[in-house]
Each structure stands twice: as C-alpha cells, then as structure tokens.
Amino acid sequence: METYLEAEGLTKYFDGVAAVEDVSFVIRRKEIFGLLGPNGAGKTTTIRMLSTVLAPDVGDVCVGGHSVIREGDEVRKRIGICPQELALYPELSAVDNLVFFGRMAGLSGREARARARTVLASVGLESRGNEVVKKYSGGMQRRVNIGIALMNRPELLFLDEPTVGIDPQSRNHIFETVLSLRAEGTTVLYTTHYMEEADRLCDRIGVMDRGRIVAVDTPTELKRQVGDPDQTTLEEVFLHLTGRSLRD
C-alpha cells in the first residue's frame, strides 16, 4: 500500500526533557493506524507535531507528499483533527460550529453550510443540528467534535481518544463512522486507551512508551509476539510492551 504519512526521527523537548524522541513510522493510505501508549507516552505531542501545531525540534513529517515544517498550509488542507477535548463552542449550535470551522478551513459560506448538512447526517445529528451544543448529551457532543474534523473532507483524520466517557450506542456509531470513512478513502490515525477498540478498528498499531515507538505492527502480529494470537488480548500485549508500573 502507498505511504500517506511518514514521520522521520521526530523529537520534541520541553524544558530540556524529551517528550518525544526519535519517533519514526509510516501510515499507509486508507488505513486506520492506532497509536497506543500509557499516559505521558507522548501520543498527543506526536499528533500535535504531525498536525503542524507544534514544530519538531528534530526530524520531519511528510503528509501526502508535503513537509509539515516547510509546507504547513498544504498539510493543513489535507488533515482534520478531532482532539481529546471538546474543542468547540458549546453556546452555539452544531450547525454554527461546523460552518465556522468549515469557513476557517477555507470553504465558502455556501459550501460550508452544504457540507455541514452532510456531516451532521454522517454523525447522526441531522435532526438536531440547530440546537445549542451545551444541551447535547456527552455522546452527541463527541460526535459534533468529530464532525468538525470532517468539514474539509480530510485525506488524513486524527482522532485523539474520540470515545472517552460516552455510552455504547454513541461509541458504536463512532466506530461505524470511522469504518465508513476508511471505506471512502480516508486515512485515520486513532489513539485510545480502550484496547478492544484498537483491536476492532485498527489495521496496524504503533505502541509508544516514554516518548518512543516500541512496536509497530498489525494487532495479530503484535499478539503473536506475546503468545497465541487467538488466546492473547491486545491489553496483554500492551502491558508486555509498556510494563505494569503506574504512570503519572
């Protein structure tokens, strides 16, 4: 498969301490790539570098043939970000949020409004799009959060723990949305602390610990490193790779 994203030697220091160190991996076009790791492993910092928010101290990332350092605007045209936090405006409606972020992504007013209707349908909120977001349930707010990331029809979608704190129905809807996006040709980078989610969704998984990538492979092959893939869970693999000590 064709490589869509290639990270090469990514390193980032905060106050002299390496949050991410010499991270290299590739994400292939149209795959769902899981990025797993305990708290503080460096996942979010890595995503921020991949998405042009944070400049790496060392290394570079190539997204769709464009460097995040030298061609940030070209990269931003191609990506959509759904952060861990509900990064939206709760006092406004879902439509207002979607249209606004669509405009900021370069769509015209008419395009943004049309795209908002499509996106609302894809996240299952077409009938409640004009309600203010703060009146939504947690699951609905999470879906709006994802919807915003879809406004510019991204080729690469970053989903940073998109299912935290929501009910099984909303979680299942998000899974279906992610799978349908892949079917439409979107490449997805997915982070989560739920191992069964990663096992179910991801084509390949990269495990990070203490700022470094410690393994990259398919879920089956990762399980094989620990034991019988049919008998081993991804959580066992995760604990095997990152250890059992508590993290801050």
Partner 1 sequence: MGRSFHLARFELRRYLAHRSDLAFGIALPVVLFSLMMVALGPDAKFRGVMHVADLDGGSLASRILERVENADGVAVRRYTRDELADALGRAAISTGFVIPPGFSASVESGAPASIVVKSRGSGSDEGRFVTGIVQGALRAAASEIELRRVAGVLVGDPANDARLDEAVRQALAGARTRPPVVVVTESMWVREASQLDRLLAGIVVMFLLFSGTLGARALIEERRTGTLERLMTTRLSAGELFVGKFLAGIGRVVLQSFVLLGLAFAVLGMAGPVVFLQCLVLAIVVAAAVTAIGLVIAAVARTEEQAAFSAVVLTMFMSVFGGTFLPTSGTGWLDVLARFTLNKYATDAFVGLFGEAATLADQGAELVILGAVAILGLATAGMMFRVSSSAV
What span, in angstroms and rounded, lies between the C-alpha atoms of 215 and 209? Answer: 9
Q: How far is the CB of 149 from partner 1 (least distance, A)?
A: 9
Q: How far is the CB of 229 from partner 1 (least distance, A)?
A: 36
Q: What is the largest CA-CA distance in the chain?
A: 55
N residues, the chain: 248
Q: Which is nearer to partner 1, 103 or 113 (CB)?
A: 103
Q: How far is the CB of 216 from partner 1 (least distance, A)?
A: 24
Q: Tell me the CA distances in angstroms from 176 to 1, 105, 120, 140, one per residue in order.
A: 23, 25, 14, 15
Q: Which is nearer to partner 1, 100 or 194 (CB)?
A: 100
Q: How far is the CB of 52 from partner 1 (least distance, A)?
A: 7
What span, in angstroms and rounded, lies between the C-alpha atoms of 42 and 166? Answer: 24
Is-contact 50 189, C-beta < 8 A?
Answer: yes
What span, in angstroms and rounded, lies between the C-alpha atoms of 202 and 184? Answer: 16
Q: How far is the CB of 80 from partner 1 (least distance, A)?
A: 8
Q: Which is nearer to partner 1, 88 or 174 (CB)?
A: 88
Q: How far is the CB of 244 from partner 1 (least distance, A)?
A: 28
Q: Which is nearer to partner 1, 103 or 224 (CB)?
A: 103
Q: Which is nearer to partner 1, 51 or 187 (CB)?
A: 51
What span, in angstroms and rounded, lies between the C-alpha atoms of 96 and 131? Answer: 10
Q: How far is the CB of 57 from partner 1 (least distance, A)?
A: 12
Q: Which is nearer to partner 1, 82 or 237 (CB)?
A: 82
223-228: long-range pairs with CB below 8 Å, 24+: none
Q: Which is nearer to partner 1, 12 or 223 (CB)?
A: 12
Picking from 150, 203, 200, the residue whose alpha carbon sits closest to that of residue 175 is: 200
What span, in angstroms and rounded, lies between the C-alpha atoms of 130 and 122? Answer: 16
Phi/psi at 226 (5° precision): -105, -35
**Positions in the binding site for partner 1 (CB under 8 A):** 14-15, 48, 51-54, 73, 76-77, 79-81, 83-89, 91-92, 96, 100-101, 103-106, 132, 148, 152
Is-contact 78 156, C-beta < 8 A?
Answer: yes
